């Protein structure tokens, strides 16, 4: 199940070793390294948030835009759900009737927002001690 567990552990150990080696460098080098690592962390976190926003937001946004387009321009308007779910023990087309469609649309959009919050919290941290020395590299 964990195919890359050993190789990823080796990579994390190597990065941690590099950070520990940085602690033995003169202060002027440590300041440069500290500023570069902080800059990389900021850009990585921003890129992660943008990627998640696009990936998670694509489902509700596409459903809303295609429904809006269909309502405005098509002769026979059609509704599109965020995730196409059938209601058990009913006809397949009843899922597009009001109020079920609207309730499920907002419910699934809320689920997408929850997924975004959950995955946005999973990022890589580099911990520093009070002297700005690199401690270790950890994934949470």
Q: What are the extents of the domains in the chain? A: 5-139
| pLDDT number for residue 93 | 86
Q: What dihedral angle (degrees, nearest 10) is formed by the CA atoms of 85, 87, 88, 90?
A: -130
Encoding tokens for residue 104? 């499920």
Q: Please name every residue paired with 136 in a beta bridge, in sequence order, or none if there are none.
A: 127
CA dihedral 53, 58, 61, 62 (to 10 degrees): 170
Each residue's pLDDT expressed in tens, for the chain with a length of 140 residues: 678 888 888 988 898 888 888 888 898 888 888 888 888 877 887 888 899 899 999 999 999 999 999 999 999 999 998 888 888 888 888 888 889 889 989 999 999 999 888 877 765 444 444 444 554 445 44
Which residues sit opposite 128 in a β-bridge? 134
Query: CA-to-CA distance for 128 and 4, rounded, in angstroms?
Result: 27
What is the pLDDT at residue 122? 67
């Amino acid at each position: 199940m964990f195919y890359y567990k050993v190789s990823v552990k080796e990579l994390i150990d190597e990065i941690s070793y590099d950070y520990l080696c940085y602690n033995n460098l003169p202060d002027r080098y440590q300041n440069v390294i500290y500023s570069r690592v902080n800059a990389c962390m900021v850009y990585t976190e921003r890129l992660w948030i943008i990627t998640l926003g696009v990936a998670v937001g694509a489902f509700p946004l596409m459903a809303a835009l295609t429904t809006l387009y269909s309502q405005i321009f098509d002769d026979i308007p059609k509704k599109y759900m965020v995730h196409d779910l059938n209601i058990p023990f009913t006809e397949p087309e009843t899922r597009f009737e009001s109020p079920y469609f609207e309730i499920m649309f907002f419910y699934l959009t809320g689920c997408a927002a929850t997924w975004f919050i959950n995955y946005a919290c999973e990022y890589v941290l580099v911990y520093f001690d009070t002297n700005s020395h690199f401690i270790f590299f950890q994934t949470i």
